[in-house]
Structure 1
């Protein structure tokens, strides 16, 4: 169909609409139907103002209530903005049956009903839907479709789109098929993502499961949900799965050449989740110097969060092929050492008991597996060197200041016992006499 033919069809449709408008303008039945539309809208406005506060009270549970029924009520409350147009649509539908029985015609009121439906769709996309993908689909597909339906142009436009074929190599498809595919696929995958979010939240609340098992279960469910969504889209759109054999072969070749790292990281992630050697909440340090708390484990990489707020994305393969130090920040004791010195004038036999008693007062220092242990380490240039070993739960960083607190305790304990902490001294010998003035 060329441009001239399209222009002629559009012009003919506009002339037809003009003739309909003229018929409505000079028809008493049309004016009666228009009056019914106005009455239906005003009644809907009045009813919505009275009913909406009641529905809001009914659909708003207490803030602390997080049960399934409460969440269902909050979800239903999201659709309250649709109350006015849907009431107007319902009242107009009742008025349409009346006008058809009285005048034998209801074209005007049917048009008004379609307009109210268009307003409901517009409010749905603008105020109710919050998902970015669904908003894009609604704004650029659903709202234009509702507008065409309101104008009575939906059927001819769909016929035109169905007859317009787009060639793509050996394949060809109509524009209408492409639009339907986008709508169906978007809706199904949005529902799949919502289902995956709900299942992930449910699994993460199962405290009796190991963290690694929770992550593995969540990933398995995610793969299953999106796999079923893909197969469902293919089935609904009538695409034979056998036609994907070539695509599968291409993917296999890609894995063999360019996607080896992705496949390796995915398999490494599964191994990590199965073994549980490193899981969410652990503080780890890799050979490459990366260190932080594991906050998320994805199919491709593990995300570490440092104590200065930065995120480090580490490929899962690095956890399998390199040495990893796991400090087990999620619940394992770690040993630290605090070094200090005392003056040579000190009775060093008193020092261990004083320091061990002082460090043991810290609420974070553990008695198991070992209590604080002060050891003599050597005789330095300026003083006698000691070190106290202590065990704590967690890592000495971020919110924990174990080393700083222990050093304060050592300082205060030595000062309380009048034990001097030495500092370097240097003796300068001048072999040449100073000049005299």
Structure 2
């Protein structure tokens, strides 16, 4: 395989040199007894790993699978470890191959073949990781485009050469200078760090929200503080991995400060207002609020910038946090406080109205949602209408009379049935029409006379 490539481009000559080097290594392995023994050890290591995997995988799956109803931190950790069970075969093969490598180097003073096998098993582990374990779309694409090619270069022994070439290529951004290898390393490390950060944030947030002893606003504040801490730490680690000194970010920090002072005042105000709301607990998830602008709904989500309100017709309203600080807000829920409503009705003038309050109050008190405190149901005489005597019953409930709760409707049904049971007539409008006949005028003939 001796060709004259002096007139060809440099990249073709280098590729030919690598092919020639690979051919020489393969030829040496094929005629070497030490190489054949290492191939045998690789086969034996893989077979042993396969047999152990058949026995260990069902046991590990059974041990790491928690009950579906359990949502504790330990159960979540077990579910997380369960997704890595498919890596058992290549990792066991890699471990057994490592043991065989130490033996062959001690006996033959050579272990190139078995070292190549170890790298191949790691390539298989990376392939399983990308295809079966990683579910996030971005990480899956990243694994296919970067991780698998890197592991393939490592398996064939060209990773050091590629790393050296990437380290020679530098990129300058103002006063910051870094190599192309740093960019690739930063993308890989950043993706892993922020993926782990997102998972850690989800687990931490779920754990904090289960602490019923804490006030809802305190839970929200703790969850936000944990989120900022986790991703802040991930960002600092990423800067360290990429090799960018934090002092070089001073200019960027100054630019951000100027931006906050000029164009980002509203955003900064909303962020600060969100922190104040979490600290004071004026409005939190689950509260039904009405803004001064007339917008009303239940708070379903709080973010660093805005509150998300859900109306009873299914619409979501994004309200900036600043509006909760600078305008009047009516909080109907206030973390479980009672609200008062009233249901108007009328009875006939033929009714003994002295009996109505006791009958109606007793009927309304039977509703499971009506409270005895701060006040029991109170039936009041409101006036004498055109068609009947007007009453209204006031009652207190925990919640809002809308959406899933129909308190006023239920109370009116109770009033109707109670009045019917006591033969009390509910009036409807009556109108009396008087027809007046005009006096007969004299006949035309008589007028002419």
The answer for the alignment partner of 1:307 in structure 2 is 312
- Superposed CA deviations along residues 237-293 of structure 1, whole A, max 9, x for unmatched, are 332222222111111111122111111101111121222222222211112222222
Cα distance in structure 2, aligned partners of 1:228 and 1:84: 34
- Superposed CA deviations along residues 57-93 of structure 1, whole A, max 9, x for unmatched, are 3334555655555544443333211111111112222
- Superposed CA deviations along residues 297-323 of structure 1, whole A, max 9, x for unmatched, are 221111223334433221101101111
Alignment match of 1:376 (pick from 377, 381, 403): 381
- Superposed CA deviations along residues 377-420 of structure 1, whole A, max 9, x for unmatched, are 22333332221111111111233221111011011111112222
Cα distance in structure 2, aligned partners of 1:428 and 1:14: 112
The answer for the alignment partner of 1:155 in structure 2 is 160
Alignment match of 1:259 (pick from 259, 264, 286): 264
Secondary structure, aligned partner of 2:201: helix
- Given that 2:309 and 2:317 are in contact with CA atoms closer than 8 Å, whether structure 1 keeps it comes out as yes
The answer for the alignment partner of 1:290 in structure 2 is 295
Unaligned segments of structure 2, at least 5 residues: 1-7, 439-449
- Superposed, 1:57-68 pairs within 5 Å as 57-63=62-68
Distance 1:346 1:39, change over 3 A: same
Matched, 1:188 2:214: no
CA-CA distance at 1:55 after TM superposition? 2.5
Secondary structure, aligned partner of 1:158: helix
CA-CA distance at 1:430 after TM superposition? 7.0
CA-CA distance at 1:169 after TM superposition? 5.3
The answer for the alignment partner of 1:232 in structure 2 is 237
Q: Once superposed, what is the RMSD of the aligned Cα atoms?
A: 2.8
The answer for the alignment partner of 2:340 in structure 1 is 335
The answer for the alignment partner of 2:128 in structure 1 is 123
Alignment match of 1:93 (pick from 86, 92, 98): 98
Alignment match of 2:222 (pick from 217, 234, 240): 217
Distance 1:153 1:53, change over 3 A: same
Cα distance in structure 2, aligned partners of 1:270 and 1:192: 22
The answer for the alignment partner of 2:51 in structure 1 is 46
The answer for the alignment partner of 1:364 in structure 2 is 369
Secondary structure, aligned partner of 1:15: helix
Unaligned segments of structure 1, at least 5 residues: none
Distance 1:266 1:401, change over 3 A: same
- Given that 1:329 and 1:394 are in contact with CA atoms closer than 8 Å, whether structure 2 keeps it comes out as no
Cα distance in structure 2, aligned partners of 1:432 and 1:174: 108
Cα distance in structure 2, aligned partners of 1:327 and 1:413: 30
Distance 1:9 1:170, change over 3 A: farther
Greater CA drift, 414-423 or 115-124: 414-423
The answer for the alignment partner of 1:353 in structure 2 is 358
Distance 1:414 1:19, change over 3 A: same
- Given that 2:297 and 2:312 are in contact with CA atoms closer than 8 Å, whether structure 1 keeps it comes out as yes
Secondary structure, aligned partner of 2:218: helix
Secondary structure, aligned partner of 2:318: strand
Cα distance in structure 1, aligned partners of 2:55 and 2:338: 62
- Given that 2:176 and 2:248 are in contact with CA atoms closer than 8 Å, whether structure 1 keeps it comes out as no
Cα distance in structure 1, aligned partners of 2:247 and 2:177: 17
Greater CA drift, 228-237 or 110-119: 228-237
Matched, 1:250 2:255: yes
- Superposed CA deviations along residues 206-229 of structure 1, whole A, max 9, x for unmatched, are 333322222223323332333333
Distance 1:231 1:35, change over 3 A: closer
- Given that 1:302 and 1:315 are in contact with CA atoms closer than 8 Å, whether structure 2 keeps it comes out as yes
- Given that 1:293 and 1:329 are in contact with CA atoms closer than 8 Å, whether structure 2 keeps it comes out as no
CA-CA distance at 1:363 after TM superposition? 1.6
Cα distance in structure 2, aligned partners of 1:18 and 1:37: 21
Secondary structure, aligned partner of 2:145: helix
CA-CA distance at 1:116 after TM superposition? 0.9
Alignment match of 1:76 (pick from 75, 81, 90): 81
Greater CA drift, 299-308 or 14-23: 14-23
Cα distance in structure 1, aligned partners of 2:436 and 2:155: 107
- Given that 1:343 and 1:383 are in contact with CA atoms closer than 8 Å, whether structure 2 keeps it comes out as yes
Secondary structure, aligned partner of 1:385: strand
Greater CA drift, 270-279 or 31-40: 31-40
CA-CA distance at 1:100 after TM superposition? 4.1
Alignment match of 2:25 (pick from 12, 20, 25): 20
Structure of greater Rg: 2
- Taking structure 1 as the reference length, the TM-score comes to 0.89
Count of residues in Structure 1 that have an aligned counterpart in Structure 2: 431
Secondary structure, aligned partner of 1:424: coil
- Superposed CA deviations along residues 109-132 of structure 1, whole A, max 9, x for unmatched, are 322221111111121233233455
CA-CA distance at 1:177 after TM superposition? 0.9
Distance 1:38 1:232, change over 3 A: closer
- Given that 2:175 and 2:248 are in contact with CA atoms closer than 8 Å, whether structure 1 keeps it comes out as no
